[in-house]
Structure 1
């Protein structure tokens, strides 16, 4: 029988676990500095760029971010809607409207418009004999669908591909948020997170000046979210296949998403998703490739790798480009490093498969980040892929920071 002293001893005092404050919460008082930093970046871009669309974006965005900084300085909540709305108005809506009215855009927009017309009239989105940079279409045939409104309606504002890029991106991101929503998560919180992410300069610049990567990123996030939810695998396969039909940069999603689906829903679901995604991508790519195989290879294989008859304008000073430009045999070295990185990603999926959506997104972000740095023809803008993937599925940080002020 236990000693009486133990029977009558008072219970230890209960301790209340205080949830750790998120980084965003701790930086509540510095929110205005974040927006001010964005304004400085946009203004510096406007002053230093030689591209007219980027200069217009920089001036408009600098104004929007400056207003957001002023609103955030006086706001009682860390990432309040008024500041985010001001940033979006200045960094996305205003420059997009101005550029559409001027008929100004990055060359990618005109490439997509031309590919839509070519697809409609010839069945292939690729010119058979490209002679200059603007004639090349480095995207897979699914991207031509965004050029069909222009081909059918002409040069009207609603036919501008940038509007459709942004619409697909936001719809896919919100659908991904719904798939990965936690218990009790309100839809408006996910919408706030999506808008805050859209206001970040690396994400706000593309829809205004070009935006061709946005639908790819959105569908990749949706494919991961559906794979993480489990199920039959059909929906995940559709999303992954749609992304793969747009651009080569989406193809690393397939092994990562299928491994995640195998972990969450089993091998049958993963096989079904693989079949569906392959079918979707094949239906989009094969007809155009067969229509003119040589043109297909020239446009979507040789040109992006920097081996086309015309040099790609994608030349940001990242390691792959620097190797290919300044080191003898550097092009082969860069491609070899790219292959090694792909193999390392594949091995990591076998040795340590991701078991959650954030883990899969991190693995994909790491792989894409390495690929973007090693591809000989690359742009800083491509880094939006790993950025969005790494941040979006951690949007709970934004919600908790916001909710901590509202109780």
Structure 2
């Protein structure tokens, strides 16, 4: 009983903190989409806190007393409802304007949809920044790999509200998580894992106004589940897709690759895994590189690293950005520190490689978290990666405990005697 009360007390604290964040966002954010989300989400979080307080002060049973009820409420009221409203609000025309208070979606949504149109028209999803007849702007850039264009293809081909890239991101995230749970034997995720992966404002806000990071996280988790179930080839294909969507997801890709290498016996299996990774990566990237290698490098490598023709607007007060903002020397120091962080993580993986799915998800969360803190251009919203992967690690651990539990012997004679 004491453990449950402590858990409910933490539930109250989580929902209250989330509610404060949502209210502040609704009142003071410069982005229209953020404010809409804040209005919806503040209601969901306040009701979640009230529900947790009610559970603390009363006793009884029934579905109304489930700690999962406010999680579902946040999903419906704090995620789906604002997403639907913003999708239809976008039909009034608010893309590419310079006033954030009119944006019904964040620029990454339009940029990814544009990249699909460019791919169909020119063979590359990237504009030639140097050839623009005007000074380049931030939204001229597409800081994603070629594979990310798949989410913009429905709108590029069909147009209309129901092809909004956010719907594609959401469907991908939901489908990949469902497939991961199926591979793991349908473990019951801990409520705290749901708080990290779903209830968190980092997830809920991203779901409503943007979404590409959630799709990538879902693919990372699915790749981890495939690795844990020793499906090396499929895992390799998925890792290639992830790194071909967003290069900054590389730390998680490396961690999962270590799991495959440390748990697969035999050179043939490792050869198939390596062939899948290299082959799919080449298939997704080389055609675009051939069309315009300079544009690929400018968009995918130089712009995110802060060495492009213009700098990334990602400027959350995280260590890497703060150091990088101290002039040219600071930028060099930040890049050196990022390299040292990558080296330290690699050494750590060699010394203590992941051996289970939960260990892999936790190490991936740590690796991505460290990279996000140290990269010169970053946003606090990217912390959704380590939070969701931490929740995934908890769920993987539940599946592993269930798998390691010895099965009860079944003796028909004993059953009849009873």
Shorter-chain TM-score tier: 0.7 to 0.9
Whether the aligned pair in 2 keeps the contact of 1:240 and 1:253 (CA below 8 Å) is: no
Equivalence for 2:71: 84
1:236-285 CA deviation, whole Å, 9 max, x = no partner?
11221221221102222333222211222225333322220221122111
SS at match of 1:329: helix
Alignment pair present for 1:198 and 2:198: yes
Listed as ranges, the matches of 1:243-392 within 5 Å are 243-268=242-267, 269-326=269-326, 329-392=329-392
Whether the aligned pair in 2 keeps the contact of 1:229 and 1:264 (CA below 8 Å) is: no
Listed as ranges, the matches of 1:156-175 within 5 Å are 156-175=160-179
Whether the aligned pair in 2 keeps the contact of 1:109 and 1:210 (CA below 8 Å) is: yes
Q: Aligned residues, how many?
A: 372
SS at match of 2:245: coil
1:276-303 CA deviation, whole Å, 9 max, x = no partner?
0221122111111211111111111111
How far 1:311 sits from its partner (Å)?
A: 2.0
How far 1:308 sits from its partner (Å)?
A: 1.5
Whether the aligned pair in 2 keeps the contact of 1:126 and 1:296 (CA below 8 Å) is: yes
1:311-344 CA deviation, whole Å, 9 max, x = no partner?
2111111111111112550111111111111111
1:22-57 CA deviation, whole Å, 9 max, x = no partner?
7x7731255234223211111112223211111111
What is the TM-score of this pair, normalised by structure 1? 0.85
Equivalence for 1:144: 149
Whether the aligned pair in 2 keeps the contact of 1:72 and 1:79 (CA below 8 Å) is: no
Equivalence for 2:20: 40
Q: Which runs of 5+ in 1 are unaligned?
A: 1-19, 400-407
Equivalence for 1:223: 223
Alignment pair present for 1:96 and 2:83: yes
Taking the aligned partners of 1:324 and 1:29, their CA distance within structure 2 comes to: 40
Alignment pair present for 1:49 and 2:29: yes
Taking the aligned partners of 1:221 and 1:193, their CA distance within structure 2 comes to: 17
Cα RMSD between the aligned structures? Answer: 2.4
1:190-240 CA deviation, whole Å, 9 max, x = no partner?
598886532321111111111111111111111112112224x11211221
Taking the aligned partners of 2:108 and 2:149, their CA distance within structure 1 comes to: 11
How far 1:123 sits from its partner (Å)?
A: 1.3
How far 1:157 sits from its partner (Å)?
A: 2.0
Taking the aligned partners of 2:279 and 2:167, their CA distance within structure 1 comes to: 28
Taking the aligned partners of 2:10 and 2:153, their CA distance within structure 1 comes to: 45
Whether the aligned pair in 1 keeps the contact of 2:193 and 2:391 (CA below 8 Å) is: no
Whether the aligned pair in 2 keeps the contact of 1:65 and 1:90 (CA below 8 Å) is: no
| Cα pair distance change 1:354/1:151, threshold 3 Å | same
Taking the aligned partners of 1:262 and 1:322, their CA distance within structure 2 comes to: 37
Taking the aligned partners of 2:115 and 2:328, their CA distance within structure 1 comes to: 36
SS at match of 2:305: coil
What is the TM-score of this pair, normalised by structure 2? 0.83
Equivalence for 2:239: 240
Taking the aligned partners of 1:267 and 1:340, their CA distance within structure 2 comes to: 32
| Cα pair distance change 1:167/1:323, threshold 3 Å | same
Taking the aligned partners of 1:83 and 1:37, their CA distance within structure 2 comes to: 15
Greater Cα offset, 259-268 or 130-139? 259-268
| Cα pair distance change 1:396/1:222, threshold 3 Å | closer
Greater Cα offset, 126-135 or 190-199? 190-199
Taking the aligned partners of 1:361 and 1:264, their CA distance within structure 2 comes to: 15
How far 1:398 sits from its partner (Å)?
A: 9.1
SS at match of 2:167: helix
